[in-house]
Amino acid sequence: MLNLANPFTSNNFDVTASIQSSANRCLPTQALNDTALVAEGGGQRGIFTAGVLDSWLHAGFNPFDLLIGTSAGAQNLSSYMTCQKGFGRNSITSLSRDPKFFNLSRTLIGKHAVDLDWYFDQVEKADNQLNIGCGEERLRSRQLLFTATKADDNSAAFFAPKRDNWLTLLKASSALPILYKKGVKIDNEYYVDGGVAAPVPVEEAYLRGAKRIVVIRTVPKDSAIQSPWAHKLKSVLCNDKRCPKVLDLITHHENAYQRTLDFIAQPPSDVEIVQIHPQQALTSRLVGSRPEWLNTDYALGFQAGLNFLQQDNQHSIKHGAF
């Protein structure tokens, strides 16, 4: 019997205590073959995904043998695999709102507008540290992949994290082009945000053998294809030589997104795709979200996760799946 009570509705919820207690309960769980979870990015809109995954951690639900995340989705899947309920929420509401993290004017003096170096330095500190050892233990029976985009040709890359490169791969998956300058160097190649080439890597999950795919989106199901961060950059930077690069990124991202939507709309006959998404546009933004917006969207995600568990419990009874 799934315990669907919501411990996050209380204003007195202690994120740090929840992270610690969840880590202590981290035990391997059995994964079902050919079952995948895909998590979209979206910057601070990833607070919705954090809510979904926290509801599943609270219920002890993780049947997936393949998990693929892009950018903020990769970060949320990390805390899901390390059993750290509240970790993703705390990272978004605290770290990503810190003035040290984002300052667009820094590009004018040759620095990162999005300071991922500072961000992941904070993640490595004791109070915010991912329990990567727990994640490695759980990955004995499943595979976790982070998407990134090869900077020189905009091709998609998929990396399996290990203890010694976990945070580096997360940084690469989250490195917004231009906002984080050249990107992240891995094996003599530079990589940027996975959302450029693989914003919602559903097809990759299918190509790797998944027959049942759950997709967590951070936009409503029928949202128009758009790259708000890239269009904002276009308006700011089109007076210098970087404008053609921005335009190329916009086009590449939007083409990739359209291919994904087409695949979801008309998948192969041997795969089932289930989407979890907000019913309307989230209040949260890529960056610059207010605390009350984030709290509201987190609650929406948590409830969406509970709704999925209730519906999927009935599916399991009927079909013996999940």
**In this predicted model, what pLDDT tens digit does every residue of 256-291 receive, in sequence order?**
998 999 999 999 999 999 999 999 999 999 989 999
CB 37 within 8 A of CB 78: no
pLDDT of residue 23: 42
Separation between Cα atoms, residue 193 and residue 114, nearest integer Å: 12
Q: Give yes or no: 71 in active site.
A: yes
pLDDT digits (tens, 9 = 90+) for 103-139: 877 766 667 888 999 999 999 886 778 999 889 988 8
Catalytic site residue from 193, 284, 289, 297: 193
The pLDDT value given to residue 14: 42
Q: What is the mean pLDDT of residues 13-33?
A: 52
Instruction: Give one word for 215, left, alpha or beta, with left for phi > 0 and alpha for psi -120 to 50.
Output: beta
Say which amino acid occupies 6: N
CA 202/CA 215 separation, integer angstroms: 7
CA distance 56 to 80: 9
Candidates 71, 173, 174, 227; catalytic one: 71
| Averaged pLDDT score across all residues of the chain | 84
What is the C-alpha separation between 293 and 297, in angstroms, rounded? 6
- pTM equals 0.84
Let me know if 262 is a catalytic residue. Answer: no
> With 80 as the cut, is the pLDDT of residue 164 above it?
yes
- End-to-end alpha carbon distance in the chain: 14
